[in-house]
Structure 1
């Protein structure tokens, strides 16, 4: 239960496997999840692991892009 509501995003650090992931942005209003290339590579992921999405992204003003 949130006792003091806020509109700011929450930023945390998390250890995933052997990787220390810094500056994880938690924002329930986000329409997409963004991972920096450096982080993606540190997880041992490759271009072949990516999947295309058909979802539209929404700008800050609420317009799809």
Structure 2
């Protein structure tokens, strides 16, 4: 019975180390997305404005 408790504790420690590494990796992967997102939004807005202005001039 004591052996099972020791095994469970070892498994918990191993998973907690892996969780920390995966959390750090996830944060590092999100940084480029966070930096690029505002530029994507600006491009989407400019594209909508361009299409709107283009459709106004096409109807003339």
TM-score, with length taken from structure 1: 0.15
| The structure with more strand, counted as a fraction of residues | 1
| The structure with more helix, counted as a fraction of residues | 2
Determine which structure has greater relative contact order: mean sequence separation of CA pairs < 8 Å that are 6+ residues apart, divided by chain length: 1
TM-score, with length taken from structure 2: 0.16
